[in-house]
Amino acid sequence: MLLKLFKTTCSTRVCFKTMTKPKADPNMPLQFVYTDQDFVTDVQRNSEKSPSSTAKFDAVVQAGWSDRMARGLFRYNLGDLQTRIMPGSHSYVAQLNIRRGTEKRKPQEILSIKQEFNAKQFNFNKINPEEIIFEMIKDTEGGSALHQQSRMVVLVNVSPLEFGHCLFVPDPSCCLPQVLTRFTIQGGIESVLLSSDTGFRVGFNSLGGFASVNHLHLHGYYMDHELKIESMLLKPLVPDKGFYRLLDFPAGFVFYAESQEVEKVARAICEVTDFLVDGNIAHNLFLTRGCPPCDRIRDKTNVCLRKGVRIVVWPRMSCFGAKEDSAFNVALCELAGHLPFKNKKDFELSTEKDVMDIIERYLLPDREFHSLEQQLLRLLTDS
């Protein structure tokens, strides 16, 4: 198996092309070291021009995840999820995942967007160490202090919603609450750029935005269906900061970053999410390969381009207390158009209008959204 090959052939600490476990401590997780040169830029959707081979990032994540599934470390066997594309302009991707609804760990009670970390509750320092696939480390060769100050631990989500569902946890020992940091945002963008698979997605739920655990983490998973937000038309807001607004979808903001713009865009996103936290506004983020921003119809070639990453930020109504036991909770993947249903009836009978009616209840009213847009315009223009 690929993972075993990495364990037996790697040296002490080498570049992205290999994995390593330091010999001094055999219990330390594997290290996955990468540089900016490892970002995959020649990506297109449904095109023969897409990379001909699987990126090493994908190979390691998928092999590590499959290995843990085979060893029985998950709460359930995911299997092949029943999937259907809902008729309608948004082409929602509906999936039936009953066992995630019944066997997932009970979510923590969240009472505030700024709730402090509580070491007595479940957190990622309490997991089985075998759930860790690797530590993600950027080799900056004396460069960015941002990456020198932290590490990203990648572990399996034992209640997966799709194939390869992992959690990206910035240095768990720091015990950070579920509030985004620039390092976390940048790590999320870079993980998408390291993947050659257009189906690899990353996301974040804030407290009050259906986060289950108050310990800083991102979700990452593979879902092999196109989502409308990958190519949807965008209205420019502050283009030099990569800041746009969705024109025809649940009201949200979009940032766009190609490989040379990651740090600048991550900084701007963090300004926005800090502003939302300070204003007690819950939010969800979804990161996916996407085509360059445009506010008008493009030719077929440009629509297929997936050179960069679209980062969608949805400010939303807060939901505190225990999670609702409904057909689906409106969180990062649902807002993006990926709908994991908990029961067969809702999966089979729900229409696009049903979904849009549910989602609408969780979004900010139009007046509040447009007021927020003006505030964010001033924030990013002045910074």
End-to-end CA distance of the chain: 49
Sheet architecture: strand order including 93-96? 82-85, 93-96, 338-341
pLDDT of residue 153: 97
d(CA 98, CA 196): 30
Reduce the DSSP state of residue 204 to 3 states and report it: strand
What pairing do the DSSP bridges indicate for beta strands 282-290 and 200-205?
A: antiparallel
Percentage of the chain lying above the pLDDT 70 cut: 84
Q: Among the residues of 305-362, which ranges form H helices?
A: 332-336, 344-349, 352-360
- Burial class from Cβ neighbours inside 10 Å (0-12, 13-18, 19+) for residue 184 reads buried
Enumerate residues 6+ apart whose C-beta is below 8 A from 323. Answer: 107, 210, 212, 329
pLDDT per residue as tens digits for the range 127-157:
999 999 999 999 887 555 555 557 899 999 9
**Mean pLDDT across the stretch 87-105?**
88
Percentage of the chain lying above the pLDDT 90 cut: 73
- Mean pLDDT, the chain, rounded, equals 88
pLDDT per residue as tens digits for the range 352-376:
999 999 999 999 999 999 999 999 9
Nearest CA to 117 among 127, 108, 105?
Answer: 108
Res 13 pLDDT > 50: no
Nearest CA to 158 among 84, 43, 74?
Answer: 74
Reduce the DSSP state of residue 1 to 3 states and report it: coil
Query: Which band of pLDDT confidence, cut at 50, 70 and 90, is reported for residue 28?
Result: low
Reduce the DSSP state of residue 157 to 3 states and report it: coil
Nearest CA to 35 among 203, 306, 262?
Answer: 262
Contact 43, 50 (CB under 8 A): yes
d(CA 47, CA 43): 9
Nearest CA to 249 among 223, 231, 268?
Answer: 231
Long-range contacts made by residues 372-379, C-beta under 8 angstroms, separation at least 24? 372/281, 372/315, 373/237, 373/245, 373/253, 375/275, 376/237, 376/243, 376/253, 376/272, 376/275, 377/237, 377/238, 379/271, 379/272, 379/275
Q: Higher-confidence residue: 47 or 111? A: 111
pLDDT of residue 238: 96
Res 240 pLDDT > 50: yes
Structural domains in the chain plus CATH codes: 2-10+29-382 (3.30.428.70)
**pTM of the shown model:** 0.90
Please report, for residues 1, 59, 196, 197, 346, the alpha-carbon distance to residue 53 in angstroms, rounded to integers and kept in the order given: 18, 10, 8, 10, 38
Q: Which residues are catalytic?
A: 217
Q: Taking the CB of residue 239, how many other CB atoms lie within 10 A of it?
A: 11
pLDDT per residue as tens digits for the range 32-78:
999 999 999 989 887 554 455 789 999 999 999 999 999 999 999 99
Three-state SS string over 112-154 comes to CCCCCCCCCCCCCCCCCHHHEEEEEEECCCCCCHHHHCCCEEE
